[in-house]
Amino acid sequence: MNPARTSLLALSLSLVGARATAVDRVTRPYRCVQHIHRELPGLDAHVVLIDLHCPAVDVVATRPVDRHVSVSGFAQEYGAQIAINANFFDGSTCGLAMGDGRVWRDAYRDRCGASVAFGPREGGTRLAFFESVDQPTTCELGWARQVITGWPRLLERGAVVFEPEEPIGMYRFHPRTAVGATPGGDTLVLAVVDGRRNGLAGMTSLGLIPLMEEFGASDAINLDGGGSTELYIAAEGGVVNRPSDRVERRVGNHLGIRVVDP
């Protein structure tokens, strides 16, 4: 095990006790959705929990033609009440991306291969985590309609993932975005952590692991971060975090949640 990762993981785990004493601001902006905003010295994090068995919930990702818009722009265009940024990007997306069944044919490989797919199931939304590093332009899951990809994988079936070639940025403090799910894909877990401002550096990707675990995630992926990190909740005023660029960045693609009340 990488000694640097071991020490950083120990530091991350030591913060769990401190976080347990935090007074979280909890809201329920929509049916089947819970939003937790946690602020502590050195930490400003948002976690959104979405019930994927809820028939009112629909998950949507960016179609190739709609690339490089802001998170709020995507949300408004797609009618999503909740949205986050997704893949790393440079012209196109790093790793597999699919929106409404349309695969990004110009996605590039690099090492982005930790993917999560969404599709319909009776009475809700189906979800699956899988590896796509060797197939950035093909999705073999016939039921999938939406796919986003990150790197590295943080959790897999409840176990911490130790990848042989982890990005050096994983050990640095930055704003962060992550996606995860509880066992069986019952609840989608979205996490956004702010940073790059006075007294608030952000979080390492390792720090995301205990945060995701605290909210029940057994599987989790690190997504693009830094100035791209953003969380949009329409019922709570739009962009609810503080993007480090101080303005919204146009990002490669996005993940959105549409909630339709009967």
The pLDDT tens digits for 58-96 are: 999 999 999 999 999 999 999 999 999 999 999 999 999
User: What's the pLDDT score for residue 3?
Assistant: 45
pLDDT at 18 over 80: no
What global pTM score does this model have? 0.92
Q: Tokens 């009340």 belong to which residue?
A: 261
User: What's the pLDDT score for residue 75?
Assistant: 98
The pLDDT tens digits for 55-68 are: 999 999 999 999 99
Q: What's the start-to-end Cα distance of the chain, in Å?
A: 51
Report which of 145, 27, 120 is spatially closest to residue 81, judged by C-alpha positions.
27
Residue percentage of the chain with pLDDT more than 70: 90
Range of the domain at 85: 3-259
Give the whole-angstrom CA distance, residue 150 versus residue 96.
Answer: 9
User: What's the pLDDT score for residue 4?
Assistant: 43
Alpha carbon distances (Å) from 141 to 3, 118, 119, 135: 37, 10, 10, 12
Average of per-residue pLDDT values in the chain: 92
Higher pLDDT, 33 or 162: 33
170 — pLDDT class (breaks 50, 70, 90): confident
User: What's the pLDDT score for residue 20?
Assistant: 52
164 — pLDDT class (breaks 50, 70, 90): confident
Domain count, the chain: 1
Q: Please state the rounded mean pLDDT for residues 99-128.
A: 96
Mean pLDDT comparison of 5-14, 39-48, 168-177, highest-scoring range: 39-48
Helix (H, G, I), strand (E, B) or coil at 82: strand
pLDDT at 156 over 80: yes
User: What's the pLDDT score for residue 163?
Assistant: 75
